[in-house]
Amino acid sequence: MTRLAIRCALLLSAAACVGCAERADTRGEPHETADAFVERVNREMAEQARELAAAAFTYATYINPDTEFLNAKANDRYLEYFTRAVEQAKAYEGEQLDPTAARALHLLKLGVAAPAPKDPQKRAQLSALSSKMEGMYGAAKYCPEGPESCKGQTELTQIMAESRNFEELLEAWTGWHSTARPMREDYAQFVALANEGARELGFADLGAMWRSNYDMPPDDFTKEAARLWDQVQPLYGALHCYVRDKLQDTYGENRVPNGKPIPAHLLGNMWAQQWAEIYPLVEPYKGVLDLDVTSALKRQKYDAVRITQSAESFYVSLGFPKLPQTFWERSLLTEPKDRDVQCHASAWHMDANEDVRIKQCIEPTQDELMTVYHELGHVYYYLMYKDQPYLFQGGAHDGFHEAIGDTVNLSMTPSYLHQIGLIGPVKQSYEATINQQMKIALDKIAFLPFGKLIDEWRWKVFSGEVTPESYNTAWWQLREQYQGVSAPVARSEEDFDPGAKYHIPANTPYTRYFLSYILQFQFHRALCEAAGHQGPLHECSVYGNEAAGQRFREMLAAGQSEPWQDTLEKLTGTRTMDASAITDYFAPLMTWLEEQNQGRQCGW
């Protein structure tokens, strides 16, 4: 969980902190200068956040009716505090403020992902709905033949990744998606309440509020995101075309027709968002390069702690500190069998200081390994900006937060994996390069349209363009348009397929990931330059390079204290997000795909 998410979750509440309430009631006191107000809010909010984090972490790692209730209460208290603080901040509107105070007040207003209406009853309802939906997702199970047959997300994810049986995949897909049906009503109510909260804060709707968090006018941000998508769309189109053709070899042309979207259950992932699990079906040059990290992890009996230590070692090799002892004592690294937990991986900043944790149901697979490195990216961001005031404890923007660990993932080259004993020796060749690029593209390129469309759907829902009567239709329309994937069986408005994706019930904004998938290549390029890397970008690993680590740490330490454009410029020399780093990175693969796709009917 990034701070925004934490703060959102956090900002879903109001506290037993009597002192805070009293001080809060001094709103309008002529003696409190803007600086004093900001200083007070930074202090109080960190206290409120501590309480919410405790409730939210306990809930996520121990889902039951009592923790659901306590989490909702904590959310409610946090939201109460937030609403009051924003109200008080209005006293300083129109004043000539120094830039630090002005930025803090600006960020304060954007500090939650779901603001509540001022009406306490509505606020409590919003908190209860958020807490309920989060728990429904975490505890969801598909039970085809009674309680003994139940499968949760972990088992179903594994089927999606490993099975090549069309019917079995279909059942896992349909089963998981059926668990989201009961969320539909709650989600519609949640949207109405959070929108009301956003409007009371002066935003057109909740989507406009989310888009205001990028140090530029919200409409400019919409255009920026569209521009970036246009830059990468040809790469995605080429990958889609090639993969569809290969899937025809496995499942037949009648099941994967030419010129049509790919059925969403055949891509190795429940949401068809990352496709690396089907690498064996699409491997360009068979047997040229052993990339089977999963087998090595199993063979070498890697457990969750060792996987996490491996990730920690990478950061330490860049000059980052070792993780605090409490990280090891308080994180949840494996799925407990005796209770429901939220298995979607997340990172937590509990106390605005050094109590950092992750929560992940780690399995010995390459995917989980990469995700641990991803989560530690959040954790090290928290540790690096812990001395910033609370309101500046965040990513330069939320895409930065998501991009740290993924930037490290890009340094997990075959040479690095060999160095840590997870694959055999690497012999460089053109064929090996294409294989390696294919494997990475199945995650990094395949993800882009998915990363873009989730919030496009929500923006339409929040603006009212999509109403509850057409939630599912609009969802599949976007999935077809952007991803070129289709629902494998007929859907109706009885279904609520968006709810089968964690970030919808958890109300975590998603454009952050789309931005991260562009930015991480810009970061990687800059760090490789700092490390003095010569040669193609895809061969660079900054593992063990302190000079790169130093540059990285400087960026992280700034947190959200300045506009992200300034932070980006210090690391990369440019003030704009730009897809040229990702297209350059994949240039060899793109040329290869274009050759392969000649004569194919691409598109859908």
Which residues lie near ligand X8Z (CB under 6 A)?
273, 345-346, 371, 374, 513
Residue among 6 and 11 whose Cβ is closer to ligand X8Z: 6
Smallest gap from Cβ 451 to ligand X8Z, in A, equals 7
201: partner contacted, choices ligand X8Z, Zn ion, none (Cβ within 5-8 A by kind): none
Residue among 83 and 507 whose Cβ is closer to Zn ion: 507
553: partner contacted, choices Zn ion, ligand X8Z, none (Cβ within 5-8 A by kind): none
541: partner contacted, choices Zn ion, ligand X8Z, none (Cβ within 5-8 A by kind): none
Q: Report the phi/psi class of residue 348: left, alpha or beta, with left for phi > 0 and alpha for psi in -120 to 50.
A: beta
Q: How far apart are the first and last CA of the chain?
A: 35
3-state SS, 421-435, equals CCCCCCCCCHHHHHH
Rg (the chain; Cα; Å)? 23
Residue among 426 and 454 whose Cβ is closer to ligand X8Z: 454
371: partner contacted, choices ligand X8Z, Zn ion, none (Cβ within 5-8 A by kind): ligand X8Z
Residue among 130 and 346 whose Cβ is closer to ligand X8Z: 346
Q: Which residue is nearest to ligand X8Z (CB)?
A: 345
Residue among 85 and 370 whose Cβ is closer to ligand X8Z: 370
Length of the chain in terms of residues written: 604
3-state SS, 230-297, equals HHHHHHHHHHHHHHHHHHHHHHCCCCCCCCCCEECCCCCCCCCCCCHHHHHHHCCCCCCCCCCHHHHH
Smallest gap from Cβ 315 to ligand X8Z, in A, equals 17
Contact characters 512-531, Zn ion, x per CB under 5 A: --------------------
Smallest gap from Cβ 264 to ligand X8Z, in A, equals 15
Smallest gap from Cβ 465 to Zn ion, in A, equals 28
Residue among 44 and 402 whose Cβ is closer to Zn ion: 402
Smallest gap from Cβ 373 to Zn ion, in A, equals 11
Smallest gap from Cβ 8 to ligand X8Z, in A, equals 13
Q: Which of 468, 392, 419, 208 is nearest to 317 (CA)?
A: 419
Angle 366-372-376 from CA coordinates, rounded to 5°: 150
Smallest gap from Cβ 1 to ligand X8Z, in A, equals 7
Residue among 103 and 501 whose Cβ is closer to ligand X8Z: 501
Neighbours of 254 (CB within 10 A): 7
* Contact predicate 214/536, CB 8 Å: no
Distances (CA, A) of 308 to 166, 370, 468: 34, 10, 42
Smallest gap from Cβ 397 to ligand X8Z, in A, equals 14
Distances (CA, A) of 242 to 440, 506, 592, 603: 15, 34, 10, 10
Neighbours of 565 (CB within 10 A): 16
513: partner contacted, choices ligand X8Z, Zn ion, none (Cβ within 5-8 A by kind): ligand X8Z
Instruction: For helices 218-251 and 447-463, give the axis angle rounded to 10 degrees.
Output: 130
> What tokens does 238 get?
């080429």
346: partner contacted, choices ligand X8Z, Zn ion, none (Cβ within 5-8 A by kind): ligand X8Z
* Contact predicate 352/386, CB 8 Å: yes
Give the whole-angstrom CA distance, residue 238 versus residue 255: 20
Contact characters 369-408, Zn ion, x per CB under 5 A: ---------------------------------x------
Residue among 48 and 508 whose Cβ is closer to Zn ion: 508
Smallest gap from Cβ 60 to ligand X8Z, in A, equals 12
Distances (CA, A) of 275 to 160, 167, 440: 10, 19, 9
113: partner contacted, choices Zn ion, ligand X8Z, none (Cβ within 5-8 A by kind): none
Q: Which of 295, 265, 290 is nearest to 278 (CA)?
A: 265
497: partner contacted, choices Zn ion, ligand X8Z, none (Cβ within 5-8 A by kind): none
Residue among 42 and 273 whose Cβ is closer to ligand X8Z: 273
Contact residues for Zn ion, defined by CB under 5 A = 402
